[in-house]
Amino acid sequence: MTKRLLAAALVAGFLAACVASALQFALTSPLILAAEKYETAETVAPTRVSANALIVFAHAGHDHGGEPQWQPAPGLPRLAFTALATLVSGVGYALLLGAVLVAAGREVTPSEALKFGIGGFLAASLAPAIGLPPELPGIAGAALESRQLWWVATALATAVGLYLVAIRRGPAAIGLGLALIVAPHAWGAPHGPEEISAMPPVYAAQFAARSLAVAFAFWAVLGLAFGWAWGAVAGTKGTARRSEVSA
């Protein structure tokens, strides 16, 4: 069971990373490069990236002030680092997706894994983006630690809420699930001071929309590929039950 899970996660993570990297290169990288030109023109002070585009999918931005954080050099080193980080994140998310499928006792098929993949998109990308939309470099934001904490709390609360609503069901479960989904947004996401930027607002809007589109493609491919690889690795498709976890 463990070897099968790992093998399927490696295949799914690799395929999803390939698709996401290609889409990032075509859709979001040009906007990031354009935004960096405005940022360079506005300030000569070093800045640091707020979040890896894979951990908080495309929630890029800068935490102004403090010591500069290491960044890969522009060009090929940056592309290679981004692709590698996407691959690592893809395998990690695939392992999590597979573990949830097995623990829930669901039949691991492409269609079932796709449903859970869409749930992953809702929890890890769409819900956090409601409070903290993907940001381009040069946009002021709250402290990095507070944003990361809110993102993790929102993703976890949304994931548990979706599980209660879609799987456990029942009036009490649905009520609690909806409350968990709404709670992080009722609390409010951390935001930095408002600043006027020379960067055209359309860049920020396009980046947020494209980042979410890339994230959706990533999670969809991850789910479909995991469901396919689960059956292909073992030669036959089976049903994952709770009792198999210890096998």
Distances (CA, A) of 190 to 30, 53, 187: 27, 19, 9
Taking the CB of residue 206, how many other CB atoms lie within 10 A of it? Answer: 17
Residue 45 has pLDDT above 70, yes or no: no
Mean pLDDT of 67-79: 61
The tally of domains found in the chain comes to: 1
Residue with tokens 């269609």: 111
Q: Which of 117-126, 129-138, 159-168 has the lowest mean pLDDT?
A: 129-138
Partner residues linked to 239 by β-bridges: 107
Q: What is the pLDDT of residues 162-177, one digit of tens each?
A: 999 999 888 999 999 9
Please give the residue range of the domain that contains residue 97. 2-244
pTM of the model: 0.81
Residue 184 pLDDT class (50, 70, 90 cuts)? very high
**Residue partners of 209: CB distance under 8 A and separation at least 6:** none
Between residues 22 and 55, which one has the greater pLDDT? Answer: 22
**Cα dihedral 99/105/111/114 (nearest 10):** -30
Residue 146 has pLDDT above 80, yes or no: yes
Partner residues linked to 107 by β-bridges: 239
Residue 218 has pLDDT above 50, yes or no: yes
